[in-house]
Amino acid sequence: MSLKLYNTLTRKIEEFTPLQQGKVGMYSCGPTVYSHPHIGNFRSFLVADLLKRFLEFKGLKVTHIMNITDVGHLVDDADEGADKLEEAAKKQKKDPLEIAKFYTESFLEASKLLNIKSPDKYPKATEHIKEMIDMIKILVDKGYAYVVGNNVYYDVTKFANYGQLSGNTLDDLNAGARIEVNQEKKNPQDFALWKHDTKHLQQWDSPWGKGFPGWHIECSAMSSKYLGAEFDIHTGGEDNIFPHHECEIAQSEAASGKKFVHYWLHTHFLLFDGEKMSKSKGNLYTIQELLDKGFKKNAIRYSLISSHYRQNYNFTFDGLKAAEQAIDKIQQCVLLLTDLRGNKKEGKIREQLQKLASNCLTEFENALSDDLNISKALAVCFDFIREVNKASDMNSAEAAVMLDTINKIDSVLGVLETIDKEVPDNIKELAEKRKTAKLGKYWKIADDVRAEIMALGWTIEDTPDGGCRFKRREET
Ligand SMILES: [Zn+2]
């Protein structure tokens, strides 16, 4: 089934056709690294990860770029207020780059814990100032931007399609605009591409004097550098639609003359216990805070991907507990199948079991192809597990097919315990012992050793190349 996605730009569910057959270029607005990212930020990053994994499941080659904003993102998302990085730097009496480094590491660590696949690149804004200046120059040359003193602004009235993504017309925006304090701008909605501020801690030379870039130009410059001026998918949170993504379109399309992005995907807000998340309510949980409360990392991931991305999701501790139970069900089934696969019972694969596995994968794919219908996809997964648990008389080949099916599903969900590289030596030794026993056809010894490995909290799976891999068993 072909993939259908809701495109914020057209406000319709559309069939996804990549620009280049078999390949997808995808850009996700990443974190502004001035504090630890919270679960609300991660919901959006996880939706991008889910989509990327699903595109790969469908056999597409994805090039994924996620930026790191380490300068220029002002407190109110537009042209007012302090730079978020700078504010944190002043508060903590540190250098902005130190702040950026510290919180970038925190973000990467949490991403790893949540089993988010690393994008092909995490470009940093401060390392792409040249590309931004080049794009601003083009915009000035083409008449879309104007220079006042040492500042450069984008003239929104020059871009006919301004408002196409958010639905905000300039008339509406102007009617609701606050009294403009910045007398330099020609129109209240014009936004800064390059800003001059002698007090700003991060400064670069430019044709317009020393200054720093606006937040919006960062994503336009970095996406075009790594994905080209025209690419397939752009993701972000719904709070990015305006002004950030609206401005990205205006900049990129004016500079290149091409259609910037073909499909825009926006993840809706996360609520906590039915309430909006905010600093003042103290419910902006970070991943580490949830781990400190005893929740498991894969349950956090499961919980954050388990509802449709275009619905607000109500995150609760009870939901996290339910997620743990759901993962446990899958994990128990994997253990059962791993055991069955290792048994000596041989034979052909019964037709009904082959069908069960192939139907499961087809239905799972169909569900996610329908604008990432995750609830349906999860229901398919648990129906399959229920049926597998009933068929405990499976032979080794049948168990292998079932296991493969669950692994394929988990290549998208990413919630099962991943292979642990830190396998203790005693487990490795036991594995060697088992291998020797199997080579000598001492099946009883091999089985006993497997049981010993399991009793120590590990499972062992044979790989087609004659090796084996280990998984740590979920503690119960
Ligand atoms: Zn962005």
Tell me the mean pLDDT per 10 residues along the chain, length 476.
96 98 97 92 97 98 97 77 85 90 96 96 97 98 97 96 93 74 86 92 95 96 98 97 97 98 96 86 91 96 97 95 96 90 85 97 98 98 97 91 95 80 77 88 90 87 72 62
11 CA → ligand 1 middle, Å: 20
151 CA → ligand 1 middle, Å: 21
Exposure string of 234-270, with b = 16+ CB inside 10 Å and e = fewer, is bbbbbebbbbbbbbbbbbbbbbbeeebbbbbbbbbeb
CA distances for 390 relative to 97, 383, 386, 448, angstroms: 57, 11, 7, 25
Cα 447 to Cα 437: distance, rounded to the nearest angstrom: 9
Exposure string of 287-297, with b = 16+ CB inside 10 Å and e = fewer, is beebeeeebbb
401 CA → ligand 1 middle, Å: 42
162 CA → ligand 1 middle, Å: 17
Give the number of other Cβ atoms within 10 Å of residue 340's Cβ.
21
Domains, the chain, with CATH or none: 21-267 (3.40.50.620), 419-476 (no CATH)
- What's the pLDDT score for residue 368? 98
29 CA → ligand 1 middle, Å: 4
Give the number of other Cβ atoms within 10 Å of residue 117's Cβ.
15
222 CA → ligand 1 middle, Å: 9
Cα 445 to Cα 464: distance, rounded to the nearest angstrom: 21
395 CA → ligand 1 middle, Å: 51
Cα 240 to Cα 165: distance, rounded to the nearest angstrom: 11
Cα 27 to Cα 119: distance, rounded to the nearest angstrom: 9
388 CA → ligand 1 middle, Å: 44
Q: Scan for tokens 């083409």, then name that residue.
A: 142
250 CA → ligand 1 middle, Å: 13
73 CA → ligand 1 middle, Å: 10
234 CA → ligand 1 middle, Å: 9
Residue 219, token pair as written in the block? 């994503």
216 CA → ligand 1 middle, Å: 6
- What's the pLDDT score for residue 422? 62
Question: Which is nearest to 159 in space by CA: 200, 186, 115, 190?
Answer: 190
- What's the pLDDT score for residue 476? 39
Using DSSP, state whether 334 is helix, strand or coil.
helix
Using DSSP, state whether 347 is helix, strand or coil.
coil
341 CA → ligand 1 middle, Å: 47
